[in-house]
Amino acid sequence: MRLLIADKLHPRAIEELRTLPVEVIYEPEITKETLQNHFAGVGVLIVRSTQVTAEAIEGAKQLNLIVRAGAEYDTIDVRAASRRGIFVANCPGKNSSAIAELVYGLMISLDRRIPDAVTSLRNHQWERRDFSKAEGLWGKTLGIAGFGAIGRDVAARARAFGLNPIAWSRSLSPARAAEAGVGYASTLEELASRSNIVTLHLPLTEKTRHIVSRRILGFLPKGALLINTARADLVEQDALYEAIEKGLRVAVDVYADEPKGKSNYQCTLLNARGVVYGTPHIAAATDQGQLAVATEAIRVIRSFLLEGTVPNVINVANVASGRFQIVMRMLDKIGTFANVLAVLKRHGINVEEVHNTTFEGSGAACAKLRVIARPSEACLTEIRAFEEVLHVDVVTLPIFA
């Protein structure tokens, strides 16, 4: 089996991957247009920012697993992967410290106008009076939109800066917020209205696209700061330009039209009439962060290759629809299991999950088959007729809300 790395990955991770029973192909310059030309013999794919389209997935006949070396996976057509029975896994929370550090770097830069002050000095200017007009961060309220690993890391650093952190996410409850030591906002509108600084750490989905709309931006108080190191499309761009012209100070690390690799990129947002700072999508790009993510990707792949399990898998149903379980004790002989499956197929019984356990030194095994419909007595009679089958039971599984 071949493992294709279609993005840059930490060198130490590549060395460790080469110790696994797989041929490692390192092609960091692959693009979404050329990806499908590199799938010959590839069973495992690692990507970071390279898009994996439905067209590429359909042509990857031997692909078993896609690992996104990062938290988000909106660059992968997960539905297309699921249709072909391809696992998709990510590496959540491993670069959260790096992103949190950049958030505070951007926050202080906005308040103290550090990039402008540096540019002024390089232009042989001494504008001490102009750059001494910062407000300071102490005592301000920091609104954290999204409270996953990154949001929690941002909150953990807030007290050191004298900030009052509050948080909102759809899954956050008042109890969880209190446990994490942050204030609770019940809606994004409430978070915006109570915050002097808002930092975005939400995943990009159809529900969160443009969630920071003109209406939400209108709730921000005068002189507020907005920081986006998550996804550009979380924010309605036209409304953002208007808010900047009205005094909103903005720092971003993500853009709607990001180029791949080095490019003569024209960032129109930085030309907005107001205080806007930007970095070229580097939030997770510390050596510490990249190594942590790569190490987690290795863990996922090692588990898949050596144990047959996929940690962090995101496209396997958490709740099975099968309401019945066949529990079958049988002799551990070649063909026994195949015979039972053939009977179930004839009776139109779909098997959703299978767990088989063998007993040491006994020559016996116990199989548990989760099935969609209850097998008929005729079906069970056929199964019991096999000499290798010792006993069969059908258990009705409980329904959990």
Task: Name, in order, each residue with C-beta under 8 angstroms of 90's C-beta and a sequence gap of 6 or more.
Answer: 67, 68, 70, 71, 72, 73, 312, 314
Q: Which two tokens stand for residue 258?
A: 């990001």
Marked catalytic residue, from 112, 157, 176, 281: 281
Marked catalytic residue, from 113, 201, 231, 249: 231
Decide: 192 and 215 in contact? Cβ < 8 Å.
no
Element (H, E) at 170: none
Q: Which two tokens stand for residue 313?
A: 């898998």
Element (H, E) at 226: strand 225-228
Q: Which two tokens stand for residue 287?
A: 């050596």
Marked catalytic residue, from 27, 127, 135, 258: 258
Q: Which two tokens stand for residue 84?
A: 């072909």
Annotation marks residue 281 as catalytic: yes
Please state the separation of Cα 329 from the chain's center in Å. Answer: 40
Q: Which two tokens stand for residue 73?
A: 């996976």
Decide: 41 and 21 in contact? Cβ < 8 Å.
no
Half-sphere exposure of 103 (CA within 13 A, CB side): 30
Task: Name, in order, each residue with C-beta under 8 angstroms of 336's C-beta and a sequence gap of 6 or more.
Answer: 330, 386, 388, 389
Which residues are identified as catalytic? 231, 258, 281
